[in-house]
A and B are shown apart, each in its own frame.
Chain A
Amino acid sequence: MRRSIKSMLTSLALGLGIAMFFAMLVPFAGNAQTSPPSAFGTPTDRQAAPPAFTAPAPQTAPLKAKGPFGTVLSWVAQTQQKMQRQLATAVKRLKSGNALGAGLILAGLSFAYGIVHAAGPGHGKAIISSYVIANEETVRRGILISFLAAGVQGLTAVALVGVMLVALNATGFQVNAWVKQLETVSYGLVFLVGLYLLVTELVRLWRRRQARYGAHVHVHHSAHGHHHHGHDHDHENCEACGHIVDARDLAGPLSWRKIAAVVLSVGIRPCSGAVLVLIFALTQGLFWAGVAATFAMALGTAITVAALATLALGSREVALRLGGGNTRWVDGVWTTCAIGGALLVMGIGFLMLTASLGPARPF
């Protein structure tokens, strides 16, 4: 049972990854569906006044920040702005000119934008990292969760824009309002996931304490710093048995449910960057290019989040090794990670939830 679920999730992640890759190629296919160039230009071209009569839109002076990190911060802000402008140009070029080149540029840009963009909040970077250290998740699972969450986020964005704008003919602002609602729901769910992690960990500690005082048996951990948390759910007080746990049993049973909870709590919130690109592509009559860009972006986001989750797991591994096999140390690190990680997930959920309940943004 456990194995089949595990392999199911792995193949799902793999499938999503492959889908994201192919989605990056879609712009070319999408272009083939557009009508042949007309002598009068595309409908939007026709409405535009001749260039000589329109005043050019004002250009912003490069953003500059003060302070010791000013140069770096300025660079980050300017790069993001440049990338967004290039994205817009790439989408527009799909309609005219070299579609193959524009498609490749769009896919590449979206991917890069995803990597950079994930540095912002709401992509589950902090949540997933905290979650994997709070649970005895493996690196492979950390990567899996990151990809699943990014994939679901992409799907939410596509579904939201697709249903609301294509099917329901809603306004951009109604979509924005929905994004905000989903954000609030997402942060609320994140808080609950954190609370759940904390409660399970506290219950485990309490049970162990009972077992320790009841049976007068010491807790044993494997010398490799591995932990057998998962067994607690199955056989209560089993930690008192003191057996050495096989590495394959590391990830406890039923944790797929937890993984689904994390993936959904993060993924239910569409990335506002992706929503903007989708709407822009839609107004250009190239919704599919937007969908492709969204998944290319999700792939980029997933890589950043997975890298951070792996880094978090690596830090835990280092912390475990510092004790040199001392069981008390290992136990201490595990408990700290479990409680600290759970508190972090809760804290992030709470902070972001309160922030998202603030007044509606004008833009």
Chain B
Amino acid sequence: MARAVVTLPAQAKRGEIIEIKTLAQHAMETGFRRTQTGDLIPRDIIRRFTCTYNGTEICRVDLHPAIAANPLIAFNTVATESGTLTFQWVGDNGYSVTEIAPIRVE
């Protein structure tokens, strides 16, 4: 159900700036839409995305209803050491997805 995809190079040179692309599967319901009978559809969004590199926070993103469905977040980081990158999405109604990606730095 709750799926997320992370794209990053499997290996990189030390000090190289790498691009990371993340995509989470989520409707990002704004809370401004109505059903045909006029009832407001309650808000259901991903509120926060965080990326940590071997425990160090790289970036923290606050998402608002103006982010399109299936939010794409692309950013950069410096490849400093081999290890793992942890990605976490947290949202309304207890939504929480964690994805881990390894990286090899030479």
Same assembly: no
Q: Which A residues fall within an 8 A CB radius of B?
A: none
- Please give the residue numbers on chain B whose beta carbons come within 8 Å of chain A beta carbons, in ascending order: none
